[in-house]
Chain A
């Protein structure tokens, strides 16, 4: 098979080849990004561990659990430690610059989340100082917060009576070993919030939104979850205890049909590019009709001619797809930054890139095979007679 002809033919129409490779690169890039969006939604579910349970109100996300529940949960056999978490729901400077803030029991929380690595500043300060906080890497970079800075957060659910913003001192910046949470959230001591409410410095609902349980080794999470649910079946607040994976999955399904929505867009992109490449290859096939007739007359086999046509399609798609994949890979840190809090687990996984490779190859084979099949059956005589 005259392999050089594959290159020669592609180089013959530089503009067309460039445009087709360009649109392929764009489409493959887009498909990778869309796929990464869907995959990122599940990051918190995939990285969950089975030794953490989450207790929340069975009624509503916005109903807090009474303070007395903490002690009752600690007493359950198989429970290693218990940490309270409270969604703070405030904002920094402007409601549109959104990132999550939680009041937590610092020591218990970090104890059950070894995934949190304090990479700058002091873990000790966070554990001991009342108004200290730790900030995720993404939020720290986005707003330029440094260790020692004071971060003013304007309360919405919890408001200070004097009207001033809440102030937290950055004790440390954390990164995550696996995306089980996100790197945008601020954590501060729950006790600070609790004291402010009790002391009358601030207003807002008492209690904590959820309680995290860390299980002792070898305990069956399902049994404990059932036991905890049973404990509060008759109120005052019924609870729902779930594994971390289920809890995170609730939030994913809440967003609605994003996976379906994004996959549909991806289907549109794929259809557009597939047709475009097929078009290019059919044009190429028509133009090379005469040449292929010559090859056949010179004695090249039908399959050699088939290979030349198919090879062009494949090469086109391998180059275009490769560029797209490279672009997706290179730009993914920037895109992750841009998406910030909306898709905290955005990551270009090797699985996505591998799938993109397969897809590009598939488009190449399909688009090359159409003109190649026609060319294979072509008789040299016909090619000369009807050739362009």
Chain B
């Protein structure tokens, strides 16, 4: 049975990889496939992956093992280290991978009609295939390297789709911002991977995901475990837009509606939670990290719940509503309620996808509700802020409206010093070059890039 399982899982991963390779190669060759072929191949690949994963799930459930490491040999290696192509399957990873494939199939069907005749149709589907590959790798990864590749593909395709309408400046600058935050998150994950390799001499996630005895066998001290766990939390916070990284989420609503839906309503935003969920056993060894995750989740949930209530455009409103639930899911994971967290996560991914996809229908929906209720429903009163004095209420409102001022703080505390530094270095560089060449220094560039968004 294990052989069948391995074959099925490999098929499920190979389907999107093949799709990505095919669509990508056709695009690179300058002869993109027609819309019909693209849609047909994407649909087939997703259906294949989903079916294979469902069968794999059934096989896995019918046999006793809890956690299995499927190894397909090394895909890269040097004299001392080999990087294996390994998948780690258990009930949760198979279910999440199957759900991802199903959701991606639905979104592909949606996008095929939604993006019909759009100049970027082909680019969109290449990126969707990239996301599919990334999601399945993240869901099934058996070692840190596979996980990191998947993580990167999800992040890269996400940023490129935010900048999908690159003829306007706003999507491009917002995409850049998303990418920058993702890089921080990626760096944290990479550090965690390096640390793991360094201290445990292994890249296997099985080690992390299987609990205490294995960890102590591998010689990981509590401090090292906590460091790895904290790095993972930073990675997750970037990817899932937890505080203090939440500022990018509303900016990511620049792409076509289905891409916003699948990334920030459904899959990408939950990728971090899923990683946290799988690393649950590791967190059992690291109380401080659990507390940190819990604090990040709880504060994000409170902040996002406040923000979503004042947003007056439908996509931002949904983005913060999704973030509220993501925060709560993280809290559930920190509390160790992994089954509940998984149900919550998967239910949320489905439900929010539907809401995002039908976001343009909001006028129609609200009108229908109003008719059925015989009038405009009056929003319930008596939320917590009603207790605060009036000036504090205004302040809270402004705080929520301005999305916690996160972006402006980021600009002032990180971006501005950084650009100033690079500008100074540029000037220094020019002076040094000029001095070396014996000429008078060239005038420095104007200060415009200091305020680059």
A binds B: no
> A residues touching B (Cβ–Cβ < 8 Å)?
none
